[in-house]
């Protein structure tokens, strides 16, 4: 269930961007998870495109770390603004109820799913019970699009983004409908993001 997935993920993830679990217990039929307290705020829109690219790097580095960790590599499963907390300038990922181990994520696609996820930030296949590294990559692209004003009531709308074509191209590849058309790994995404940062530095010089 969601409770078990949250506890398992928090125990297995030893990452600087994840609040540490203190304990998990059941009382009077209710299940609780106590985590490290964070004095922060939910992610809000950022004005600077440079800061947005840096945030995208943080998201991609996190996905790279959790999907390649030696023990129990996994996906997050529900990356969206309301699951990202900013505390002292640092991003923390919360809510691992939808997290799955990679070895379990290659399950057969079905027409039913009970996962509760972000409507505009979730890859299409997740709604049908399938989840992969590319699902988290889709969510990264959607969050970046949202930060740039590219998410409206219909979903991701790249025409609303007023920025350079490279960022748009990265978002478009992240949020491709088919998994095979997205980045094959978070490291590949990081490579493109790094090129974007380097180009900006070179242009400024």
123-137 residue pLDDT tens: 999 888 888 999 999
Could you give the strand order of the β-sheet that contains 84-87, starting from the edge strand earlier in sequence? 41-42, 84-87, 90-93
pLDDT tops 60 at residue 101: yes
- In this prediction the pTM is 0.81
Where does 13-160 have alpha helices with state H?
49-68, 133-147
Higher pLDDT, 91 or 109: 91
pLDDT tops 60 at residue 65: yes
- Span of 10-14, 64-68, 175-179 with lowest mean pLDDT: 10-14
Catalogue the long-range contacts made by 150-157 (C-beta closer than 8 Å, 24 or more residues apart).
151/120, 155/119, 155/120, 156/120
Given pLDDT bands bounded at 50, 70 and 90, which one contains residue 11? Answer: low
Question: In whole angstroms, what is the distance from residue 75 CA to residue 9 CA?
Answer: 9
Nearest 5°: phi and psi at 22? -95, -50
Lookup: tokens for 136: 């988290």
pLDDT digit string, tens, across residues 142-162: 999 999 989 888 889 988 887
Lookup: tokens for 177: 């409908």
């Amino acid at each position: 269930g969601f409770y078990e997935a949250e506890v398992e993920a928090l125990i297995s993830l030893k990452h600087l961007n994840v609040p540490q679990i203190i304990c998990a217990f059941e009382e009077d039929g209710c299940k609780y998870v106590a985590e490290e307290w964070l004095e922060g705020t939910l992610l809000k829109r950022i004005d600077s495109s440079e800061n947005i690219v840096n945030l995208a790097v943080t998201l991609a580095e996190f996905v790279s770390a959790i999907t390649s960790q030696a023990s129990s590599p996994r996906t997050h499963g529900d990356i969206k603004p309301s699951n990202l907390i900013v505390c002292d300038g640092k991003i923390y990922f919360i809510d691992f109820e939808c997290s799955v181990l990679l070895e379990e994520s290659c399950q057969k696609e079905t027409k039913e799913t009970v996962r509760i996820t972000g409507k505009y930030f979730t890859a299409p296949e997740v709604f049908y019970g399938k989840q992969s590294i590319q699902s988290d990559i889709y969510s990264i692209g959607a969050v970046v699009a949202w930060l740039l004003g590219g998410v409206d009531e219909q979903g991701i709308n790249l025409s609303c983004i007023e920025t350079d074509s490279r960022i748009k191209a990265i978002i478009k590849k992240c949020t491709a409908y088919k998994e095979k058309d997205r980045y094959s790994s978070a490291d590949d995404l990081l490579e493109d993001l790094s090129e974007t940062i380097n180009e900006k530095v070179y242009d400024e010089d």
